[in-house]
A and B are shown apart, each in its own frame.
Chain A
Amino acid sequence: MLILNTLIGWFYFSVLVFVLGVSLSRWTLLARLGEDDGLPRAFVDVVLIRTAIKGGFLLTVAMLMLFGRQLIAFRDPFVPWREDAWLLLRHTLWGSSWVVASVGCGLAVAVLYVRRSSGWNLATLLLLAVAAFPAFSGHASAVEGISWLSLSADILHVWAAAGWLGSLMFLMVLERSWRQQVSFTRSLLPEVMPKFSKSSMVWVGILVISGVLSSSIHLSTTSDLLTTGYGRVLLLKIVLAITVMGLGTLNWTTSKSDLHRTVTLEQLTRRSSKEIWFAQLVLLVTALLIQWSPPGHQAVGHDMSIEMLLIRMIGIGMFFYVAFFVLLLLFAIYLLKGSK
């Protein structure tokens, strides 16, 4: 059951990160690129919509699998299945969160299907909201006293994972579609990779900060990393995540060289595929991790070691630092739009 639960969790995380990544790359990578930059805009738009809709369907399937998993665990043999399902969906916090996320996912797909390119605003907002489901149905919601912090750190963590790895997965899909359908010889990566490298630096920063903050909330002391089951799996996740970041750094250095050279391009594509495979392992370990109860679920300052308190304070500080810059960036975008 543990293996099946882990595989379902991995499938869900993987699809969620991918779908949100498609949506975020629409804004962070491809919004301002056009024919002048050597990018076939119409083709990219078609692939974006098609991939997001297909991914949205897969996400709905993943949500149904999560519900099935929860219902089997929730099963009371003395009442009919339908009664249990109704109770789970309508009368528990987990069920309410699941319903909201599923409806959001369905609406996002419907909006993209009906309104095509003009539906991206609403679809992205809906998908960002859907990505809050793991936080509201998991460990982050069980933290006493500072649940607002753990929830926002978890939500940011998912968004950042999608912005980085989901976007990279989409770029690989886009490249493959382009090679198969339009031009086998020309690549789109030289046009989009430099922008991806810049945006992924920001996403990785947010990913690390939110991860450190979440870990400081879920652990009571750094030795928990070695002495508890949750800590050990978290340590494995950290090691894998650092490996993915290392590969990302290699890709970043490659993307700074001349990407129009075939050898460099092939090297980049191969390394990006590796980065994605390693990232899938990180998601698999995350799916395993969430099945343990974290050792440090308590209010601030209670039974917490000094070093963990320090890590949490640094995490909170960095969290607000990032939030400040995001707000500043949004304000700058608002001013720029106003001046046009």
Chain B
Amino acid sequence: MRCLKYCFLAVILVLTVAAFAFSKQSPLSYHFAVDKTVPAKDTSVVSVSQIGIWFTQVPQSNSVSIRLVDAEESLVTGVEFEADSADPTAFIAHLDSTLPVGDYKVFWRGIGQDGHVVTGDYTFKVSVG
């Protein structure tokens, strides 16, 4: 009887693993994700006057947090991202002064309409013109 239970559990485990293994979609790939960014991911730009993220869905209100860090992963202060009133999927930071030359990383986090917390990051580079 006990042997039967273990066999059953093993079958469930194999089926679950198979569901994972043969799936093109990772369990961590959600509908709520980044659609496009400005500056674009992994690009090098001469100057930046605004940084923006466009999501694939409207996130749950107040759930989005976006941080800009430099090459030392220190927070770049004075960069405040705000939701675009015309496009609720867009979050944009208008910069008062252009960013110094260097590598930058943008960390973002938000909650999709289905309650999943989704996080991510991307990099860009400000180079000499």
Chain A residues within CB distance 8 Å of chain B: 2, 70, 73-76, 78-79, 87-88, 91-94, 137-139, 141-142, 227-230, 232-233, 235-236, 240, 281, 285, 288, 291-293, 295, 297
Contacts and interface: CB of A to CB of B under 8 A. Distances in A.
Contacts of B22: 232
A137 B65 CA distance: 20
B60 A229 contact: no
A281 B15 CA distance: 12
Given A91-B61, A233-B19, A236-B16, A141 B27 contact: no
Contacts of B75: 78
A236 B63 CA distance: 33
A94 B109 contact: no
B26 A141 contact: no
B113 A142 contact: yes
Contact of A93 (B32, B61, B65, B116): B61
15 contacts: A2-B28, A70-B117, A73-B119, A87-B62, A91-B62, A92-B62, A93-B111, A141-B115, A229-B20, A229-B27, A235-B19, A240-B12, A291-B28, A291-B116, A293-B31
A292 B113 contact: no
B62 A281 contact: no
Interface string B9-20: 000100110111
Top 8 A-B residue pairs of the complex, sorted by shortest distance between their CB atoms: A229-B23, A142-B114, A142-B113, A91-B62, A73-B117, A232-B19, A229-B25, A137-B115
Contacts of B27: 2, 229, 288, 291-292
Contact of A141 (B20, B24, B29, B113): B113
A91 B111 CA distance: 12
A74 B62 contact: no
A236 B114 contact: no
Interface residues of B, number: 33
B19 A92 contact: no
Nearest to A285: B16
B65 A94 contact: no
Interface of B is mostly: loop
Contacts of B25: 228-230, 292-293, 295
Contacts of A137: 115
Contacts of A227: 24
Contacts of B26: 229
A94 B62 contact: no
B114 A288 contact: no
Contact of B114 (A88, A92, A138, A281): A138
B112 interface: yes
Contacts of A79: 65
Nearest to B67: A78
A110 B32 CA distance: 39
Nearest to B59: A92
Given A2-B27, A228-B25, A139 B16 contact: no
A76 B109 contact: yes
Contacts of A232: 18-19, 22-23
Nearest to B15: A236
Contact of A293 (B18, B62, B116): B116
B67 A76 contact: yes
A293 B119 contact: no
A31 B65 CA distance: 51
Interface string B72-86: 000100000000000
Contacts of B32: 293
